[in-house]
Structure 1
Amino acid sequence: MTLPVLVDCDTGIDDAIALTYLAGHPDVRIAGVVSSAGNVEVAAVHRNNLVLAELLGIDAPVSRGAAAPLTADLMTADDTHGPQGLGHAHLPEPTTSGDPREGAQLWVETARAHPGELVGLVLGPHTNLALALELDPELPRLLRRLHIMGGAINHRGNTGPTSEWNIAVDPEAAQQVLAAFTGAPQRPVLGSLEATETVRFTSATLSRLQGTADRTGHPVATILVDALRWYFEFHQADGFGWMAHVHDPLVAAHAVTGGFARTRPLAVDVELTGMLTRGQTVGDELGRWGRAPNVDVLTDVRPEEFIDHLLQMLQDALSGGNRSL
């Protein structure tokens, strides 16, 4: 029995790794991919997703989402992920234009087709899910569970001093999603920076992935290695040394396996108006708001165990598959 998963992502280097992981996982069926504006503009994200889906043999609709946040101007992270989102990688042109439905519509129709079964996985800004909730406010009760990569709880940000990228791109959308999912049958799982930044790729990690590329000859393996080289260069320029924080795969793996981390319940909201703190995810650790917890936050990550699992799954995923482009 495979788990249907809808992935909403702004691909993005770590998004591409997460997609590859999911495509190769024997217990997962990717039911749809929504391209979100974020790391780069939505046209580049959509191209990345179309190419990866073809190369990985993902038999699912790939839909283009909104081109801009709900109210703010779009900011992108070309310095972090490269002008086209995948660093130094050179991608072929996709052979299809993808599913004609808008991203929000794909969310709704996929959830309705799999009531109580579909896992929602948001690895980018929340814009498309917020728009989907306008189309169908019942989405929180249709999904099996929502898993989010985003936020920073009592942790420095990676965009503003206190804000994480996926939330900071569209704070209004993130706030609306958290509000809508309050009272859902299962609380969303929030993989915030204090969890995901424990997953650090090193030179040894990159060498292992290069070995996979050398052995398999799979084009996606080469894409990931070339993309990661850019990611390492960015982190080095940002003062972290020759390494990379790889956020999205941990959230994807936990959504599928329930492993590699624990969770703790917490009431979380998003700051929208702070002059210095817009986009901050605020966790009420002391219960001052008097609200019930609305998310389960990832904690107690086992990063070495997870990285070994991830690299093995990537190797399995890239040992065969579609190489037609």
Structure 2
Amino acid sequence: MPQPRIPLFLDCDPGIDDAIALGYLLCQDDVDIAGIAASGGNAPVEQTTRNALGWLQLAGRTDICVHPGADRPLAQDADYALETHGETGAGYARLPLEGLPPSDTDAAHAWAAAARAHPGELIGVLVGPATNLALALDLEPRLPQLIRRLFIMGGAFNYRGNTRPTTEWNVTWDPEAASRVIAAFGQAYIAGDAPYAPVMAPIEATEAVVMTPERLAKIRSRGDLSPNRTPQWSTWLDQLAAALRFYFEFHEWDGHGYLAHIHDPYVLAAAIEWARQAETTGKVGRAGNDRDPFTTIATDELRVSDESIRAVEPDRREVMARGDTTPVPWAETTQAAVDIELTGTLTRGETVADWLGRWNRPANAEIIRRIDAESFLDNLTEALQKGPGGPTQP
């Protein structure tokens, strides 16, 4: 029986850890890349778009579309993390300067088109600011029903920030966009219009995922896992090492030691592995809810009436009706009501979770609290060491 395909849309702002995520994605042969969106964030959008294109071209994947996105947040001026990722957003890496052009379709329209093309199946992964997806919601309000599940790298819950004292970079870059996305996807889950809560991976969890020079050397080595590695992929890894050298230096300057927190690849990998496990085990839907989550996205009772949504396979309908859930891989999670602070003079952009139920609101997000970083990093190491050519073992 052929392995199920996983359609996935990645929204990123490359960025050095974004580049690792892109490399990991290219190594997953059972994933159909429905598109890659670039956002302003770690660098201006023109640069992040060039970086995404450059990393893809370096890997020989000129078939993948990169969709340029928003150049500024919805309600504030843009800021960039050039001290963290370098003037080009790629550290010391030298990426191709000419060649692969960006798509004529902007990121917001690309989100909407990908979701319509894969109703109920598309995995959405957001590892940059939420601006593109927020704008896509204006174009297609049904996105929370069309997208199978959304995975978000962002936030800091009761934790010191990496941008302001209590805030994380992606959310801080565009708090209004993050608020809009969490509200839309969370409300769809609460209402029963979508079977899954959005997953949030905040920095207090993802900072456990640490790249070291020793692990990087293992990735670049030619061991038993990489007998068929191509010279092209070795060149790709050489440039990733150059990018990471800058990232190591920044983290050392910032007081963390000569290492790098690599948030983004974990979130992407968790999304892919979650989709694989959901297909394999048939655990689809929400825990503790006696409503058929399929019905909420597949009948005329609710807002979504698109014929393509109602065409999901009948055998999946039976699976979804059971109300089982598939855990987020390599993680311990909890559900809570989440909101974004938009007006605080000291805390604008802070993600707030109502752990004690004081708001009397239902949970609208699944929050990753702890990550089995070593197990994930072993998976990442294996994937990058092998290079494109097959999925790794979980």
| Bin for the TM-score computed over the shorter chain | over 0.9
Pairing partner for 2:75 from 71, 77, 83: 71
Partner Cα separation in structure 2 for residue 278 and residue 265 of structure 1? 23
String of CA shifts for 1:112-135, please: whole Å, max 9, x gaps.
000001011001000000000001
Partner Cα separation in structure 1 for residue 60 and residue 217 of structure 2? 25
Q: CA deviation at 1:317?
A: 2.0
Task: Say whether 1:229 aligns with 2:233.
Answer: no
TM alignment of 1:121-200, pairs within 5 A: 121-182=125-186, 183-184=188-189, 185=194, 186-200=196-210
Task: Say whether 1:5 aligns with 2:8.
Answer: yes
CA contact under 8 A between 1:149 and 1:190: conserved in structure 2? yes
Partner Cα separation in structure 2 for residue 74 and residue 212 of structure 1? 42
Q: Could you state the TM-score of these two structures normalised by the residue count of structure 1?
A: 0.95
Partner Cα separation in structure 2 for residue 238 and residue 93 of structure 1? 30
Pairing partner for 2:269 from 250, 253, 267: 253
CA contact under 8 A between 2:29 and 2:388: conserved in structure 1? no
TM alignment of 1:1-325, pairs within 5 A: 1-58=4-61, 59-182=63-186, 183-184=188-189, 185=194, 186-211=196-221, 217=231, 218-258=234-274, 259-317=329-387
Partner Cα separation in structure 2 for residue 318 and residue 257 of structure 1? 17
Which amino acid is the alignment partner of residue 54 of structure 1? Q
String of CA shifts for 1:21-55, please: whole Å, max 9, x gaps.
01111221211000100000001100011122223
String of CA shifts for 1:246-293, please: whole Å, max 9, x gaps.
100111111011321132111111111111111100111111111111
Q: Which runs of 4+ in 1 moved over 3 A?
A: 212-217
Larger Rg: 2
Identical pairs, percent: 49
Partner Cα separation in structure 2 for residue 174 and residue 271 of structure 1? 10
Task: State the SS of the aligned residue for 2:200.
Answer: strand
Question: More deviation in 180-189 or 39-48?
Answer: 180-189
Structure 2: runs of 5 or more not aligned: 275-328
CA contact under 8 A between 2:16 and 2:85: conserved in structure 1? yes
CA contact under 8 A between 1:47 and 1:94: conserved in structure 2? no
Structural RMSD (CA): 1.7
Partner Cα separation in structure 1 for residue 114 and residue 127 of structure 2? 17
Which amino acid is the alignment partner of residue 24 of structure 2? Y
Q: Could you state the TM-score of these two structures normalised by the residue count of structure 2?
A: 0.78
Which amino acid is the alignment partner of residue 330 of structure 2? F
Partner Cα separation in structure 2 for residue 317 and residue 41 of structure 1? 29
Which amino acid is the alignment partner of residue 219 of structure 1? T
Task: State the SS of the aligned residue for 2:83.
Answer: helix
